[in-house]
Structure 1
Amino acid sequence: MKLVAKAALAAALAGLALGGTAEPALAAAGLDGRGMSLAWCLPFAGLLLCIATGPVFYPHVWEHHYGKIAAFWAALVVVPLLAAVPADQVLGALTFTMLAEYLPFIILIFSLYTIAGGILVTGNIHGAPATNTAILAIGAVLASFVGTTGASMIMIRPIIRANDDRVHNVHVVVFFIFIVSNCGGALTPLGDPPLFVGFLKGVDFFWTTRALFMETLIVVGALLAIFYVLDARLYAKEGRVKPDPTPDSRVGVKGLAMLGLIAVVVAAILLRGYWKPGVSFKLAGVDFPLQDIVSNAVMLAGGLASLKLANPIFREQNGFSWGPVKEVAKLFAGIFICIIPVIAILAAGRNGALAPLVALVSNPDGSPNNVMYFWLTGALSSFLDNAPTYLVFFELAGGDPKVLMGPLATTLAAISTGAVYMGANSYIGNAPNFMVYAIAKDMGVKMPSFFGYMAWSVAILIPIFILVTLLFFIRGAPLAGW
Structure 2
Amino acid sequence: MKFLRRCALLALLVLPTLARAADIDGATLALWWGVPFAGLLLSIALVPLVAPIFWHHHYGKVTAAWGLAFLVPFALVFGGGAAGVSLVHALLAEYVPFVILLTALFTVAGGIYIRGNLHGNPLLNTGILAIGAVLASFMGTTGASMLLIRPLIRANDNRVHKAHLVVFFIFIVSNAGGSLTPLGDPPLFLGFLKGVDFFWTVSHIFPETLFLVGALLALFFAIDSWFFHKSGETVAADPTPDTRGIGFDGKVNFALLGVVVGLVLLSGFWKSSVVFNIAGTEVGLPGVVRDIGLLVVTGISLWLTPARVHDANQFGWAPMQEVAKLFAGIFLTIIPVIAMLKAGVSGPFGGIVSAVTGPDGAPLPAMYFWATGVLSSFLDNAPTYLVFFNTAGGDPAALMTTLAPTLAAISAGAVFMGANTYIGNAPNLMVKAIAEDRGVKMPSFFGYMLWSGGILVPLFILITFIWF
Q: TM-score range by the shorter chain?
A: over 0.9
Question: Residue 245 in 1 paired to residue 245 in 2?
Answer: no
Report if the CA contact (8 A) 1:373-1:414 is conserved: yes
CA deviation string 1:416-464 (max 9, x = no partner): 0100000000001001000000000001100111111111000000001
Report if the CA contact (8 A) 2:341-2:349 is conserved: yes
In structure 2, the residue matched to 1:103 is 96
Shift of residue 98 of structure 1? Answer: 1.0
Tell me the percent identity: 58
Q: What secondary structure does 1:233 align onto?
A: helix
Mapping for residues 372-451 of structure 1, pairs under 5 Å:
372-451=367-446
Aligned residue pairs total 451
Question: Residue 352 in 1 paired to residue 340 in 2?
Answer: no
Report if the CA contact (8 A) 1:152-1:180 is conserved: yes
Of 353, 357, 362 in structure 1, the residue corresponding to residue 357 of structure 2 is 362
Report if the CA contact (8 A) 1:31-1:93 is conserved: no
Q: What secondary structure does 1:282 align onto?
A: strand
Shift of residue 109 of structure 1? Answer: 1.1
CA distance in structure 2 between the aligned counterparts of 1:314 and 1:273, rounded to whole angstroms? 33
Shift of residue 29 of structure 1? Answer: 8.2
Shift of residue 238 of structure 1? Answer: 3.7
CA distance in structure 1 between the aligned counterparts of 2:162 and 2:421, rounded to whole angstroms? 19
CA distance in structure 2 between the aligned counterparts of 1:100 and 1:309, rounded to whole angstroms? 30
Shift of residue 240 of structure 1? Answer: 5.2
Of 137, 151, 154 in structure 2, the residue corresponding to residue 158 of structure 1 is 151
Of 349, 352, 366 in structure 2, the residue corresponding to residue 371 of structure 1 is 366
Report if the CA contact (8 A) 1:167-1:238 is conserved: no
Aligned residue identity for 1:132: N
Report if the CA contact (8 A) 2:161-2:233 is conserved: no
Shift of residue 69 of structure 1? Answer: 0.2
Question: Residue 284 in 1 paired to residue 279 in 2?
Answer: yes
Shift of residue 248 of structure 1? Answer: 4.3
Report if the CA contact (8 A) 1:384-1:429 is conserved: yes
Shift of residue 86 of structure 1? Answer: 3.6
Of 209, 217, 221 in structure 2, the residue corresponding to residue 216 of structure 1 is 209
Mapping for residues 333-348 of structure 1, pairs under 5 Å:
333-348=328-343
Report if the CA contact (8 A) 1:29-1:89 is conserved: yes
CA distance in structure 2 between the aligned counterparts of 1:431 and 1:298, rounded to whole angstroms? 21
Shift of residue 31 of structure 1? Answer: 2.5
**Gapped runs of 5+ residues in structure 2?**
9-20
More displaced, 279-288 or 82-91?
A: 82-91
More displaced, 270-279 or 135-144?
A: 270-279
CA distance in structure 2 between the aligned counterparts of 1:203 and 1:417, rounded to whole angstroms? 14
In structure 2, the residue matched to 1:176 is 169
Shift of residue 300 of structure 1? Answer: 1.5
In structure 2, the residue matched to 1:271 is 266
Shift of residue 88 of structure 1? Answer: 2.8
CA distance in structure 2 between the aligned counterparts of 1:301 and 1:178, rounded to whole angstroms? 31
In structure 2, the residue matched to 1:477 is none
CA distance in structure 2 between the aligned counterparts of 1:29 and 1:58, rounded to whole angstroms? 41
- RMSD across aligned positions (CA): 1.6
In structure 2, the residue matched to 1:23 is none
Report if the CA contact (8 A) 2:113-2:312 is conserved: yes
Report if the CA contact (8 A) 1:29-1:93 is conserved: no
In structure 2, the residue matched to 1:76 is 69
Question: Residue 61 in 1 paired to residue 54 in 2?
Answer: yes
Mapping for residues 37-48 of structure 1, pairs under 5 Å:
37-48=30-41
In structure 1, the residue matched to 2:110 is 117
Of 310, 323, 341 in structure 2, the residue corresponding to residue 328 of structure 1 is 323
CA deviation string 1:348-402 (max 9, x = no partner): 0111111111110100110001111100100010011100000000000000000
Q: TM-score, normalised by structure 1?
A: 0.91
Report if the CA contact (8 A) 1:29-1:286 is conserved: no
CA distance in structure 1 between the aligned counterparts of 2:391 and 2:263, rounded to whole angstroms? 30
**Gapped runs of 5+ residues in structure 1?**
15-27, 474-482
The change in CA–CA distance for 1:240 and 1:451 in structure 2 (over 3 A counts) is: closer
Q: What secondary structure does 2:254 align onto?
A: helix
CA distance in structure 2 between the aligned counterparts of 1:393 and 1:300, rounded to whole angstroms? 33
